[in-house]
Structure 1
Amino acid sequence: MQYNRYFFSAFLGFVMLFGNASFAQSMKKADSIIRASGMEIYEKPEKAIEAGKYIIANAKDDAQIKIRGLMLVADAYSVKRDYQKSLEYVIMANKLSNHIDDPILKIKIANKMGIQYQQMKIYDEAIQYLNEAEKLCMAYPVKDSVMYHLGRNHIVRGFIYKEKLNCDIAINFFNKGIAELARVDNTMVKTNISIALYNKGNCYILLSDYESAKKSFFEAIEITKGIHASSLQAFAQKGLAEVYTLEGRYRDAIKELEEALAVSNSVGDLVLNRGIYNGLLENYLAVNDWSNYEKFHARFLETQLKVKESERKSINNLINEGYKTQNKNLKTEISKYNYYILTTLILIIVVVIFFYVLIKKSEKNILKLNDIIENLQNNREKPN
């Protein structure tokens, strides 16, 4: 696995350095770049962003390739928790989806839109897009080709139901998602399985089932170590540390959190770092280590501020996009209204002219008929 990772990195660098001249001749290289970047997106999201932007810039008029580049960049920004940037690229991909006939790509976009709204806690919109993606999955004739997307769909629903309903329902959807993904012969699905296991662990914590929680976190950690997904490994270790804290094992919790912090340094995930800092300050406080408590408390507050600012920008961006859509729809409706008004006026004018001509013609006929009658009467009155 380590060899494959270095091979993909080297291949990605080679293509991006020397591929400009031939990129237009064979857009299949984009698939290789996306696969190579996808292998490292949770460890080196900046590389994935660079690769995605390269694909977008060289996609020319190929909407499908451009969409895939946009989705890669959006996914990488999601890993970095930069939802404002992620949303920008997802929206661009969604707009371009009207110009393609690839149902699988449309499923990916609908799922990603659902994920984006779920991450921003706009659950009604998220469910709407997830339903759209699920409908497309059910309609697709080759079921093996949509198992991955259906599995992700179930997992995202699990996130939503965890927040809106309860953990028992959420765990059920996480298990459904894991079952679908387990049927896919692809290393990349392990990242999604790890995410599902981590969230299952959080649900078990809320249910006070600490043994099941630890089991889920251990499984998630083992999976992430095998695929070099730094941020996912750190999340799972953070979850395991939370269980240790609840069990009063503060030193064990600190050990896990320190390891998680070291693993996550290259990722730049603000939400992840905030959670790790919060865990460290709580556990150092529990063992009366005031120096480390103050250090991580300061880091927590600083990161909290950055997270709030990022979330505010994302919400503003979403609101602005909503206004743009509403204005566009309003302009369309106004144009339709103006068209109907103009058409009605033209019809009225045509009808008025028609009746005017008809009346004038009738008047002429009446006058002519009167002349004939008058002539006949005059003829009768003449003596023989």
Structure 2
Amino acid sequence: MNLKTNDMKKVLYLLFLMFSMFGFSQSEANLEKQITEVDRMAFVDPDSALVMVKKLEPKIDDDKLQSKLLLAKGSAYSVKHLSSAALRSGFEALDISQKSQDSLMMVNTLGFIGNQYYILKLNKKAINYLNRAETIIDFLKDGSLDQMSANIYFVKALIYKDNLDPAFAITYFDKAIFEYNKNNDRSSLLNKNITKIQKGYSLIDIGKADEAEQLFLEVIKESDRYKMAEVSDYAKVGLAITYDNKKDFIKANQILLETEKRIGKTGNIGLLTEVYDALSQNYLNQNNAPQYFFYNQKLEKNLLTNDNVEEKSFSELLRKNIETQNSEFENNQNLFYLFAVLIILFNIFSLFYIRKKINGLKSVKF
């Protein structure tokens, strides 16, 4: 993918949160709660998180808590774009978890290290550490690790997708979907549908637009049923792209224009930007130069605007989700945080798909 470095670092930090938060689902003692607070703070204020880490370090002598604090420290460094420091923290946590034979923390740390190598575009190393995490999960055969396993598969699928190997990516998207299906909670449902959308784009890449169409329709139906409007809109953009691939431009335009009106009322710049990308591509395929340039200009304007509001929107979204009292997650705070993270991920991934195409669009001449 042709992404800005800071965008890549943000999303990979968020992917790490999917590992670290889910790994501690039991009741937390006071110190563990403080470490979890550092996890959250690292995303919105990494400098303050590092100050808290220094205060907590002398108080902790438990191996699991030390490992978790090191991962919180690593995530703060990651947000500050200090991958080397983040990796050092990750390897320290891995060393402690290996010596204490804490399999769950080993999976967390291996996942974190794999993500850091992905940030650095060292994909072979990333796959190596994610494979090690996957091996531990397979060996343990512990049902409580189903979600963790799904997250490992999901990240590996993204790596293969980014490296233009959509067929292999689909294999891992399918594995992730299988694991997400083992849970009926809302976060698993959300994650499953995000994974299906990513799989749909990979199906388009290998020329299986009909299969992608059915997949997007499934996501739309389920998302509408459970009132996940943004996921539904995201899938509708993918559905329109399948029609564009099948040269059914009228149907594609109809879906995109209706989606544009609906999204415009919500102020979701990420999704709106993707709609403009799809519309410009649609008109490009029709050799309609005026409409292509009209929507391409909107696309570029939104991309510039998004750079200014992206960090603010992340912080506000995380704060709102932390403050909201949602009864569905009242008895499982970690799942609640995971849900917040996945919503943020959903908004980021919509931008990733766009940025991959921008250079190609700009180079077109009529």
Measured against the shorter chain, the TM-score band is: 0.5 to 0.7
Distance, in Å, in 2 between the alignment partners of 1:120 and 1:96 is 19
SS of residue in 2 equivalent to 1:149: helix
Q: Against the structure 1 CA distance between its residues 215 and 181, is the aligned structure 2 distance closer, same or farther, given a 3 Å change threshold?
A: same
CA contact (8 A) 1:217 1:236 kept: yes
Distance, in Å, in 1 between the alignment partners of 2:229 and 2:42 is 13
Matched, 1:29 2:25: no
Matched residue type, 1:128: N
**Displacement of 1:68 after TM fit?**
5.3
Q: Against the structure 1 CA distance between its residues 262 and 212, is the aligned structure 2 distance closer, same or farther, given a 3 Å change threshold?
A: farther
What's the RMSD between the two structures over aligned residues?
4.4
CA contact (8 A) 2:166 2:206 kept: yes
Number of aligned pairs?
260
Following superposition of structure 1 onto structure 2, how do residues 11-26 of structure 1 map, counting pairs within 5 Å?
A: 26=30
Distance, in Å, in 1 between the alignment partners of 2:47 and 2:122 is 28
Matched residue type, 1:196: T
Distance, in Å, in 2 between the alignment partners of 1:261 and 1:74 is 35
CA contact (8 A) 1:238 1:257 kept: no
Alpha-carbon displacement from aligned partner over 1:119-165 (angstroms, at most 9, x marks no partner): 6653212211111211222343x611322222222233333344557
Tell me which residue corresponds to 2:295.
293
Tell me which residue corresponds to 1:124.
124
Following superposition of structure 1 onto structure 2, how do residues 273-288 of structure 1 map, counting pairs within 5 Å?
A: 275-283=274-282, 288=290
Q: Please, which of 94, 105, 113 is the counterpart of residue 90 of structure 2?
A: 94
Alpha-carbon displacement from aligned partner over 1:78-129 (angstroms, at most 9, x marks no partner): xxxxxx7384785354144134444213212322333444466532122111
Distance, in Å, in 2 between the alignment partners of 1:106 and 1:212 is 37
Distance, in Å, in 2 between the alignment partners of 1:95 and 1:127 is 16
Tell me which residue corresponds to 1:244.
243
Matched, 1:216 2:215: yes
Distance, in Å, in 1 between the alignment partners of 2:167 and 2:182 is 23
CA contact (8 A) 2:90 2:112 kept: no
Tell me which residue corresponds to 1:50.
44
Tell me which residue corresponds to 1:172.
171
Distance, in Å, in 1 between the alignment partners of 2:77 and 2:228 is 20
**Displacement of 1:283 after TM fit?**
4.2
SS of residue in 2 equivalent to 1:27: helix
CA contact (8 A) 1:70 1:90 kept: yes
CA contact (8 A) 1:244 1:253 kept: no
Alpha-carbon displacement from aligned partner over 1:143-200 (angstroms, at most 9, x marks no partner): 1132222222223333334455754433232212211222245443334322320121
Q: Which has the higher contact order (CA 8 A, sep 6+)?
A: 2
Using structure 1 for the length normalisation, give the TM-score. Answer: 0.52
CA contact (8 A) 2:193 2:219 kept: yes
Q: Which runs of 5+ in 2 are unaligned?
A: 1-27, 61-65, 309-366
Distance, in Å, in 2 between the alignment partners of 1:283 and 1:258 is 17
Tell me which residue corresponds to 1:189.
188
SS of residue in 2 equivalent to 1:208: coil
**Displacement of 1:54 after TM fit?**
6.4
Instruction: Choose 284-293 or 143-152, whichever is displaced more.
Output: 284-293
CA contact (8 A) 2:42 2:49 kept: no
Matched, 1:265 2:268: yes
Percentage of pairs with the same residue:
20
**Displacement of 1:238 after TM fit?**
3.2
Matched residue type, 1:195: I
Tell me which residue corresponds to 1:108.
108
Q: Which runs of 5+ in 1 are unaligned?
A: 1-23, 38-46, 78-83, 307-384
Structure possessing the higher radius of gyration over alpha carbons = 1
CA contact (8 A) 2:240 2:255 kept: yes
Q: Please, which of 56, 68, 85 is the counterpart of residue 81 of structure 2?
A: 85
Matched residue type, 2:240: A
Q: Against the structure 1 CA distance between its residues 221 and 110, is the aligned structure 2 distance closer, same or farther, given a 3 Å change threshold?
A: farther
